[in-house]
Amino acid sequence: MALLAPAGAFAGPSGGAQYVPPPPPAKRAKIVNGLAIPPAGAPARVKNAIEAANRIAGKPYLYGGGHQPYSGRSAMAASLDRGYDCSGTISFALYGGRFLNSPLNSSGFMSWGRPGKGRWITVYTNPGHAYVVIAGLRLDTSVGDSREPTSGRGPRWRKYNRSPSGFTARYPAGF
Question: Global pTM?
Answer: 0.80
Provide the residue range defining the domain that includes 36: 25-171
Please report whether residue 85 resides in a domain.
Answer: yes
Residue 41 lies in a domain: yes
Report yes or no on 97 lying in a domain. yes
Whether residue 100 lies inside any domain: the answer is yes
Phi, psi of 56 (to 5 degrees): -110, -5
User: Residue 10: which H helix or E strand, with range?
Assistant: strand 9-11
pLDDT at 3: 46
In the chain, how many domains are there? 1
Q: What is the pLDDT of residues 63-93, one digit of tens each?
A: 999 988 876 655 555 557 889 999 999 999 9
Of all helices (H) and strands (E), which one includes residue 48? helix 44-56
Element housing 144 (H / E):
none
CATH code of 74's domain: 3.90.1720.10
